[in-house]
Amino acid sequence: MLILKASLPAVLMLLGFTTSATLHFGASPALAKTTADNSLFGLASSSDFGIVGTVSNTTGVRKRLSPEELVKLADLSKALGGTIYKIHIDEVVTRRSDFGKGRSSTSFPNGDLFIFRRRDAPYFPNEFYELGQRYLIFVNQIANQTALQKSYELEPKTTYYQAFDPNQGIVRLKSIEDPLVLKFRQLGQAIQPPDLNKKLQRLKILTRSRDPELGQMAEEAIKLIQHKMRE
Amino acid sequence: MKAYTILFTVTILGCCLFGARATRAQSASGFTSIDYDADSNTVDAYSETDLDWNLQGDYDARVRIWVYKNGGFITYQETVDHSGDGIATVEVILSGEPDSTYRANGAHAALCAFSDYSNYYPYHLFYYDNWWLGRFEQQNINVPWYYYFLSNGFQQVARQLKPVNLGTTYDTDTVTTPKLQVEMSEDKHIKDGETASFSVTITGATPANSPTNYEWTFEAPSGAVNTPHVAFSPPNGSSSVTTDGHWFAYPDSACGTSFDATYTIKCKVSFSHSKPKTAQTTLSINAFWDPAGSVNPNEARVIGAPSMAPDANGIWHITGMGNLARQIPQKHVFITTGQFITKADAHEQVHVDQWAPGHLFGSLHQPADYYARIQNFTGTSQADLVNKLTVDLSTYTNAQDDFYAHHKADAETEAYNVSDQIVPKFLYQYCGTNQL
């Protein structure tokens, strides 16, 4: 797939100066937009979690079909539902709840998070996770888990997630100490305290970072927290 | 006594009448005007010096005019009347230039007609100023529009200079021609390979000062590469044009150039009677498609179903390959216009070719492989058998996907190795491992 990116930070920086792209789902071609609608801060604050994890297993999942539907199935591939990626979490780096946006459950049985990718979902090359590889992934819980269970043969007591903004929100890592991870880790730790004043205090320190992107994220987080305090 | 009284009275009245006529009539006047006629786009500056009939013969009329535009001198003319009728006129006609203020200054003078030579030291030539118009010279008269230079009457005055400068009049009815404006249509943002339209709108033009040509040009940043150019259609002579959309690379960097190329578009409009005016705008050409193309591996799969039938005991068996077949992904190129279609198409074609036998993914999703896995499956019912088949197809497909994921980077490397050689090389190039 021919895509326009070098690395996530580089692309985001470039997009910030020039233009940014948003993928359009469906058949229409993806066209460039002229407004920046993605940012590192957006990844952290708008996803349920930002995690660093390793793909420990992949499983093919069928659509849930009745015996009658199975008998009528002239093309077996119509039963293909998708893939479950079992991600063993090394670290949760960001939580949306820390940004004052909703609540993020931190209960991951056995430290695993399950990503379900429908086979007929819009295609993002990044979403082909490789077994044994470590990734930084920003995820959201898939809405309406009950309906999901009805449509696909999924484990009933498992919560399934999907990648948030797969173009930007999935980064294959060579090391857990990847600079990008360090960036989000610092932001996540700064904003973690429940006390809003404490959050602000820590974020203000981050604004003085020599890393301009981290400083920018901290600035945006401060605005968000200050807005929260005025509510 | 009575006769003497009458004679005296008549004499006094006659003197009064003669004197009164003399003091009222021996005079000169001058006026200056300037006007602009929009229909003909002409500025008409006029000045005139008039001598009363009593002065005629003793003096010749002279008028001079200076015309200024926006405070700067542009022309001068002078006329002397030698015909003896005492009227000197001068007229200057100019083409008006837009947004300009014109002013005319007229200088009025009487030229002494008679002269003599002094027999006494220092033996100089002198002129008769018998109506003593020279008294105006020290008054520095400079008034708008019109002035009446009233003489004191006949006197014996001599002077050394022939011209008697009376003073100046100037036109206060200064003229500002309509402001000529050329405005360009708004800036345009298009994709590489698309077209854009521009037009100029002119205000303040007149039939006498109308546009005569439109010259369209472009500018690109210094240092821009990939042959910056804009083709205008028609090239010149029209107030409206259509352009092509050719993205240029700036800065000159394979992985650091901007997706947006912004030209400055200029139109120089020439006019029949004024200086050309230029208007400008921008044309931004964007070459950003994300993705530029794709070959979706999710489309790859084994499709169809094997043939199956129950035996005498009602047990369902696989009886053959049926219509099992291999489906490979299709190529999708999302770039619709411009210079990068070929590059994107070549890149995605490599990805398609990778699914061909003997290539990177040539062994994936093979019906024979799947059939080998399921050929001995049985079911207590057709539904039971199909259920087992779909379970195994899901497992098989997942294994193929894992293989794909493991070799995805190799696949991209292959594709970039081909597409990176295709010009233009500035975008859609391999720029880092995260692309793989």
Q: So what's the pLDDT on residue B363?
A: 98
Q: A204 CA to chain B: closest CA distance, Å?
A: 32
Asked if the Cβ–Cβ distance from B347 to A76 is below 8 Å, we say no
Q: Which of B336, B382, B404 sits opposite A128 (nearest CB)?
A: B404
Asked if the Cβ–Cβ distance from A19 to B260 is below 8 Å, we say yes
Q: Which of B255, B258, B393 sits opposite A79 (nearest CB)?
A: B393
Q: Closest chain A residue to B386 measured between Cα atoms? A: A70
Asked if the Cβ–Cβ distance from B291 to A61 is below 8 Å, we say no
Question: Which chain A positions have a beta carbon within 8 Å of B189's beta carbon?
Answer: 34
Half-sphere exposure of B158 (CA within 13 A, CB side): 9
Distance, in Å, from the CA atom of A62 to the CA atom of B21, rounded to the nearest integer, reads 126
Q: Which of A83, A123, A125 sits opposite B398 (nearest CB)?
A: A83
A36: number of Cβ within 10 Å: 14
B8-64 per-position pLDDT tens digit: 444 444 444 444 443 445 688 999 999 888 778 788 999 999 998 888 888 999 999
Asked if the Cβ–Cβ distance from A80 to B393 is below 8 Å, we say yes
What band does B111 get if pLDDT is binned at 50, 70 and 90?
Answer: very high
Out of A20-29, B179-188, B386-395, least confident range? A20-29
A178-196 per-position pLDDT tens digit: 999 999 999 999 999 999 9
A142: number of Cβ within 10 Å: 17
Out of A107-111, B67-71, B363-367, B381-385, least confident range? A107-111
Q: Closest chain A residue to B288 measured between Cα atoms? A: A32
What is the arithmetic mean of pLDDT over B327-335?
A: 96
Query: Higher pLDDT residue, A56 or A103?
Result: A56
Q: Which of A30, A60, A171 sits opposite B289 (nearest CB)?
A: A30
CB contact at 8 A, B191 and B290 = no
Residue A24 confidence (pLDDT) above 80 = no
Q: Closest chain B residue to A131 measured between Cα atoms? A: B402
Q: So what's the pLDDT on residue B135?
A: 87
Q: So what's the pLDDT on residue B175?
A: 63
What band does A106 get if pLDDT is binned at 50, 70 and 90?
Answer: low
Q: So what's the pLDDT on residue A190?
A: 95
Asked if the Cβ–Cβ distance from A73 to B305 is below 8 Å, we say yes
What band does B137 get if pLDDT is binned at 50, 70 and 90?
Answer: confident
Asked if the Cβ–Cβ distance from B304 to A18 is below 8 Å, we say no
Asked if the Cβ–Cβ distance from A119 to B294 is below 8 Å, we say no
Q: So what's the pLDDT on residue B380?
A: 97
Which of A1, A2, A124 best probes binding to B when mutated, by most B CB atoms within 10 angstroms?
A2
B78-96 per-position pLDDT tens digit: 999 988 889 999 999 998 8
Mean pLDDT (chain B, rounded): 89
Identity of the amino acid at A45: S
Question: Which chain B positions have a beta carbon within 8 Å of A10's beta carbon?
Answer: 432
Q: B405 CA to chain A: closest CA distance, Å?
A: 5
Which of B394, B403, B435 best probes binding to A when mutated, by most A CB atoms within 10 angstroms?
B394
B178-217 per-position pLDDT tens digit: 678 999 999 999 999 999 999 999 988 877 788 999 999 9
CB contact at 8 A, A15 and A36 = yes
CB contact at 8 A, B374 and B392 = yes
What is the arithmetic mean of pLDDT over B99-126?
A: 88
Record the pTM: 0.71
Q: So what's the pLDDT on residue B152?
A: 78
What are A33's strand-pairing partners?
Answer: A20
Give exposure, B354-367, as e/b (b: 16+ Cβ within 10 Å). bbeeeebbeebbbb
Which of B288, B318, B375, B412 best probes binding to A when mutated, by most A CB atoms within 10 angstroms?
B288
What band does B276 get if pLDDT is binned at 50, 70 and 90?
Answer: very high
Residue A38 confidence (pLDDT) above 60 = no
Q: So what's the pLDDT on residue B36?
A: 87
Which residues have CB under 8 Å from B316's CB, separation 6+?
B308, B309, B310, B378, B379, B380, B381, B382, B384, B385
Question: Which chain A positions have a beta carbon within 8 Å of B420's beta carbon?
Answer: none
- Percent of all residues in chain A with a pLDDT value above 90, rounded to a whole number: 71
Angle at which helices B367-374 and B382-419 cross, to 10°:
150
Residue A33 confidence (pLDDT) above 80 = no
Both tokens of B53, joined, read 């009939």
Query: Higher pLDDT residue, A32 or B12?
Result: B12
CB contact at 8 A, B190 and B269 = no
What are B264's strand-pairing partners?
Answer: B219, B282
Q: A18 CA to chain B: closest CA distance, Å?
A: 6
B122: number of Cβ within 10 Å: 5
Question: Which chain A positions have a beta carbon within 8 Å of B297's beta carbon?
Answer: 123, 128
Which of A69, A76, A171 best probes binding to B when mutated, by most B CB atoms within 10 angstroms?
A76
What is the arithmetic mean of pLDDT over B214-239?
A: 95
Distance, in Å, from the CA atom of B235 to the CA atom of B255, rounded to the nearest integer, reads 34
B286-295 per-position pLDDT tens digit: 999 989 999 9
